Structure 1
Amino acid sequence: MGMLKEFREFAIKGNVIDLAVAVIIGGAFGKIVDSVVKDLIMPVVGLVFGKLDFSNLFVVLGTVPQGTAMTLDALKKAGVPVLAYGSFITVAVNFFILAFIIFLMIQQVNRLKRNNPEPAPAPAVTPEDIVLLREIRDSLKRPPSNA
């Protein structure tokens, strides 16, 4: 029963929940970056290098059955081994863009931390009885007034 209690305490700690939320958001963010790379960046890169579709860049490593189309999908469905380097290029670009975006985010967080220094701690509040005792002490130290 002790291990179950320890696990429950571990699972409901804030760090575990924060990690779970980060993984979920990271997965969704990865899909967005994947779409940006595949749908926006790779077509432009492909146009610059003269190839319109990087996903169909491959090298056939085996024999192609008669009547099989020479596309990556058709070759994979036919069970032909292919070296799909175009897909690798897309994934590598995806990784570098994601890493660069994370770098920019961390850079901004660090800059915000530097611009907002911790406020100075508030001075300690002196209890009222101490203030009154100091006033009495100070009044006793003053020379008598000649009135």
Structure 2
Amino acid sequence: MAVVSEFRSFIAKGNVIDLAVGIIIGGAFTGIVNSLVNDIITPIVGAIIGGIDFSDYFVPLSSTVTAPTLAAAKEQGAVFAYGSFITVIINFLILAWIIFWMVKVVNRIRIKEEKQPVEAAAAPPPADVLLLTEIRDLLKTR
């Protein structure tokens, strides 16, 4: 029974809950980022560099592979698909660049919020006012 209560205590800690929420949001955010990279940024980069698509670059590792595309070549035999690797690296660099700028913007917002003056807490009333308030409250109870 002690192990169960220990486990409950571990799970209820703020860090574990924060981590779980972060993983769930990260998983949901993955779809958005993938769409941004694959549907918006990669076509723009492809247009800039002349429409080069590295995904079908491969070296056949057996003489039976004669297909011109990677998918067909994989069906024929073993291939060294270096083009897919290059594509993944380019996608990673694009994604890292986007995340860098997102973090930079969020940090700027945080700095601006920290620089804003915090309203001063109301000053406590003077001692004589507190004393008079106590006397009034005592007289009300009589």
TM-score by length of 1: 0.69
Aligned to 2:139: none
What SS does the aligned partner of 1:5 have?
helix
RMSD: 2.8
Please list every run of 5 or more consecutive structure 2 residues that lacks an aligned counterpart in the other structure. Answer: 135-142
Aligned to 2:102: 101
Asked if structure 1 preserves the Cα contact closer than 8 Å seen for 2:54 and 2:87, the reply is yes
Identity of aligned residues (%): 35
Query: Which deviations, in whole Å up to 9, do the C-alpha atoms of 1:4-55 show, x marking residues without a partner?
Result: 3122022123332222112111222132112111111111111111125343
Aligned to 1:114: 115
Query: Which residue identity lines up with residue 81 of structure 1 in the other structure?
Result: F
What SS does the aligned partner of 1:44 have?
helix
Query: Which residue identity lines up with residue 32 of structure 2 in the other structure?
Result: I
Please list every run of 5 or more consecutive structure 1 residues that lacks an aligned counterpart in the other structure. Answer: 134-147
Q: Per the alignment, do residues 46 and 118 of structure 1 end up closer, same or farther by CA in structure 2, a change over 3 Å counting?
A: same
TM-score by length of 2: 0.71
CA distance in 2, matches of 1:127, 1:15: 47
Structure showing greater relative contact order (alpha-carbon pairs closer than 8 Å, 6 or more residues apart): 1
Residue 3 of structure 1 deviates from its aligned partner by 3.4
Counting only pairs closer than 5 Å after superposition, residues 1-147 of structure 1 correspond to structure 2 as: 1-56=1-56, 58-60=57-59, 62-63=61-62, 65-66=64-65, 68-77=66-75, 78-84=77-83, 85-115=86-116, 117-125=117-125, 126=127, 130-131=131-132
